[in-house]
Amino acid sequence: MPTAPDPVIARFDRLWQFHIDSLADRLGATPSVLLCMPDGRPLAARGLADHDLDPIARLTCDLVAASASLTTARHSAVEEIEIVQFIGGRSRTVVRGAPVHGHGTLLLSVTAEDVSLSLMIVQVRRTAGELATLLSAAG
């Protein structure tokens, strides 16, 4: 007999879809989006194939760690990385931390084509903040 879905998971799924739909509307594009743990475990995604989630989540965490190491090496002090960005052709990727009470800083990675970098940064920052607030309240 199938079990009923967990109401917390079902609520998160609805809210995740709402926030990602809102992000897409604000960007005027259909982004691929990944929310992952700091250890590289994917939590939620849209626009990515299931078989790509684990490798992309691990790579996202590795790239953020590399960026933090380079920043620390250059400035001789530990500085928190707010945003990591990657540009390739028409594609832009912005990764932003989302501090969640009791779970550390989750990473939100958003990739879209033909969207200005400044718009991506502002909207990813906003969405990461919204998700952090939502998840902190639920936890």
pLDDT at site 96: 92
For residue 49, is it within any domain?
Answer: yes
Q: How confident is the model at residue 38 (pLDDT cuts 50, 70, 90)?
A: confident
Domain count, the chain: 1
For residue 8, is it within any domain?
Answer: no
Coil, helix or strand for 81? Answer: coil
Angle at 115 between CA 14 and CA 132, to 5 degrees: 35
pLDDT at site 1: 40
Residue of 64, 94, 62, 92 whose CA lies nearest to 80: 64
Range of the domain at 123: 15-79+92-138
For residue 23, is it within any domain?
Answer: yes
For residue 2, is it within any domain?
Answer: no
Residue 58 main-chain phi, psi, to 5 deg: -65, -45
CATH number at residue 58: 3.30.450.30
For residue 85, is it within any domain?
Answer: no
For residue 27, is it within any domain?
Answer: yes
Residue 105 and residue 84 in contact, taking contact as beta carbons nearer than 8 Å: no
